[in-house]
Chain A
Amino acid sequence: MFQIRIHGRGGQGVVTAAEMLSVAAFLEGRYAQAFPSFGSERTGAPVVAFCRLDDKEIRLREPIMQPDALIIQDPTLLHQVDVLAGLRHPEGCILINTQRTFEEIGLGEFVQDLHPRNLVTLPATELSFKHVGRAVPNVPLMGGFAAICGLISIDSVVAAIQEKFRGKVAEGNIAAAREAYDIVKADLKEAGYA
């Protein structure tokens, strides 16, 4: 079982991200479970969503306390919520929506024993503005996720986007996801982790 925990703020599509990841996994024939932390969501308030992937039926229903991957849609949460709690070491993956590096955002020490190929920063908000015209970093981050962890293909992510959105919105999101995927792939290649 692979467990993904997504952190963000209300209005950034955290819950939708978890749901779309589960749909992408489903399209590849896997079992997936996605659910939010069921808070009284308000725009801007911290939100957590969970996604489990497995090759057999998922029965577990507890919140994900020891994630294999973390997707952090809003770096301002780093100093407000213990978003990194429970992340598995040393295999854990982290994707953060930021233009800065892990060191620059103060996580240098935390990620010391994590493998560099599993650590990704992505300017997801900028990508979403470019392709969709709004700050919806969730979809580019999904594209980035497809590029690491080796769990979901970018084509499944695209298919999940097409199931959720229509027309121009779908097109824009797909473009954002693909560009994010390409960026991460290029970064990994450059760093020698192709």
Chain B
Amino acid sequence: MRKQCEGSQAVAEAVALCRPEVICAYPISPQTHIVEGLGELVKSGDLAKCEFLNVESEFAAMSVAIGASAAGARTYTATASQGLLFMTEAVYNASGLGLPIVMTIANRAIGAPINIWNDHSDSMSQRDCGWIQVFAETNQEALDLHIQAFKLAEELSLPVMVCMDGFILTHAYERVDIPSQEQVDAFLPPYVPRQSLDPDDPVSIGAMVGPEAFAEVRYLAHAKQLQALDWIPRIAAEFGQMFGRDAGGLVRGYRLEDAQTIVIALGSVLGTIKDTVDELREAGLKVGVLGITSFRPFPLAAIRQAVQGARRLVVLEKSLAVGIGGIVATDVRMAIDGLPIKVNTVIAGLGGRAITKASLHRVLRQAMDEQLEPVHFLDLDLGIVNRVLERERAQRRTGPIPEQILRQVGAVASRIA
């Protein structure tokens, strides 16, 4: 059924259609509306046979999820930013134990300094933990990916993180098509665990594993993620047949056919990039877009295949590996190893700074003119940065950095963007 609603609401309805049995979450902006929506559905009885628990921290949220999933229940939670970090120990525990938990990450920057706006630093911080990570481009894809996520997780016995841009997607009203319960039931059968805590068949879960076997256990986790490289497209194809929509998959190309320059990105910024690329194409420039939907497992072969004809890649990412540069760009470089393709990293949108078509036009033209440095920070005010560094050279007690910068930036409340 088509409706116009908030992204969070759409996700809540999609998760509810998946018949979750235990939902346990702790509120954090910008995930709150998703969990509130689900809480209301459970309390009103619309979502039956579901336990909704208000837990005392994100660490508790993931821990309750671990217990519930290990006991055979289909389990869901959601978090962002600081919350994801606070539950990190449990996040690793869940994937290490092979529990098919599905979690929404409403992507938000990690502090300090505290920032509630969107970027990808939170899910990027957990890229090695063994969870599958998929990124939604639109609210429609966000809700579709959740339905696919439960199927994928339970097939592989691996937890899945569905990442959607905080505020930009979660709090945006747009048109979505919400499937029917019958459709979802036909696509997603009841959860049959590979392992579970059951007095009728006791097992010990979570024992210590020493040097004699740890490597094999970890390798198996890696091997399962590599299996996901096959399962993700398969499930996306099945989804397409059942629901009539293209959602999920490993990567999605746009106007790649004869592209000399390809822009690579994750998440909602792909929309703005596509509008920009259309305009560049009209101006005669051969530019294409590659959206990465599955970030973990990282689709090395699919990316290599998609970009091999290009001369240049511009990886636009909302993440920064402090001390080195890009995160996605580094993974992309691995995919094209050996090919004669140049890669530019453009770090943009940190802490929710808007990524505009105008800036994209400028930076893409610079890249195509070979005028762009290997790692470029979009719309960075270097003047401000240099003034802070200058001050630090001049005196010892400079005070907190954010304060120094904000003084230069001036009143923000009166700004439009």
Direct contact of A and B (CB under 8 A): yes
- Residue of A32, A48, A62 most packed against chain B (CB within 10 A): A62
Asked whether any CB of chain A lies closer than 8 Å to the CB of B402, the reply is: no
Q: Determine whether the beta carbon of A37 is less than 8 Å from that of B4.
A: no
Query: A38: which of B4, B171, B174, B274 is its contact (CB, 8 Å)?
Result: B171
Q: Determine whether the beta carbon of A80 is less than 8 Å from that of B116.
A: no
Q: Determine whether the beta carbon of A35 is less than 8 Å from that of B168.
A: yes
Q: How many B residues touch A, CB cutoff 8 Å?
A: 29
Residues 78-101 of A, flagged 1 when their CB comes within 8 A of B and 0 if not, give: 001111010000000000000000
Asked whether any CB of chain A lies closer than 8 Å to the CB of B175, the reply is: yes
Q: How far is the CA of A83 from the CA of B413 in the complex (A)?
A: 12
Q: Determine whether the beta carbon of A61 is less than 8 Å from that of B268.
A: yes
Q: How far is the CA of A62 from the CA of B361 in the complex (A)?
A: 13
Q: In the assembled complex, how far is the CB of residue B21 from the closest CB belonging to chain A, in whole angstroms?
A: 31
Q: In the assembled complex, how far is the CB of residue B378 from the closest CB belonging to chain A, in whole angstroms?
A: 12
Which of A17-25, A126-134, A182-190 sits within the interface? A17-25
Known: A32-B175, A60-B357. A65 touches B417 (CB 8 A): yes
Total A-B residue contacts, Cβ distance less than 8 Å: 87
Which of B121-129, B190-198, B348-356, B392-400 sits within the interface? B348-356
Asked whether any CB of chain B lies closer than 8 Å to the CB of A43, the reply is: no
Known: A26-B4, A35-B168, A37-B417. A61 touches B272 (CB 8 A): yes
Q: Determine whether the beta carbon of A46 is less than 8 Å from that of B174.
A: no
Q: Determine whether the beta carbon of A35 is less than 8 Å from that of B171.
A: yes
Q: How many A residues touch B, CB cutoff 8 Å?
A: 33
| Docked complex: A27-54 residues within 8 A CB-CB of B | 27, 31-40, 45-46, 48
Asked whether any CB of chain B lies closer than 8 Å to the CB of A63, the reply is: yes
| Docked complex: A52-83 residues within 8 A CB-CB of B | 58-63, 65, 80-83
| Docked complex: B161-175 residues within 8 A CB-CB of A | 167-168, 171-175
Asked whether any CB of chain B lies closer than 8 Å to the CB of A5, the reply is: yes
Q: Determine whether the beta carbon of A46 is less than 8 Å from that of B275.
A: no
Q: Determine whether the beta carbon of B416 is less than 8 Å from that of A36.
A: no
Tell me which residues across on chain B come within 8 A of A25, comparing CB atoms. 4
- Residue of B6, B172, B268, B414 most packed against chain A (CB within 10 A): B172
Tell me which residues across on chain A come within 8 A of B101, comparing CB atoms. none
Query: A81: which of B116, B173, B272, B414 is its contact (CB, 8 Å)?
Result: B414
Q: Determine whether the beta carbon of B416 is less than 8 Å from that of A5.
A: yes
Tell me which residues across on chain B come within 8 A of A80, comparing CB atoms. 414
Known: A32-B173, A36-B171. A65 touches B272 (CB 8 A): no
Query: A48: which of B167, B175, B357, B416 is its contact (CB, 8 Å)?
Result: B416
Known: A26-B4, A35-B167. A63 touches B417 (CB 8 A): yes
Q: How far is the CA of A181 from the CA of B403 in the complex (A)?
A: 47
Tell me which residues across on chain B come within 8 A of A58, comparing CB atoms. 174, 271
**Closest Cβ neighbor of B4 among chain A residues:** A26
Tell me which residues across on chain A come within 8 A of B274, comparing CB atoms. 59
Q: How far is the CA of A135 from the CA of B171 in the complex (A)?
A: 24
Q: Determine whether the beta carbon of A38 is less than 8 Å from that of B172.
A: no
Q: Determine whether the beta carbon of A81 is less than 8 Å from that of B275.
A: no
Q: How far is the CA of A150 from the CA of B209 in the complex (A)?
A: 69
Q: In the assembled complex, how far is the CB of residue B415 from the closest CB belonging to chain A, in whole angstroms?
A: 8
- By Cβ-Cβ distance, the 3 closest A-B pairs, closest first, are A59-B271, A26-B4, A63-B417
Q: List 6 A-B contacts (CB under 8 A).
A: A5-B416, A25-B4, A26-B175, A32-B173, A35-B168, A36-B171
Which residues of B are interface residues toward A (Cβ below 8 A)? Answer: 3-4, 6, 116-117, 167-168, 171-175, 268-272, 274-275, 352, 354-357, 413-417
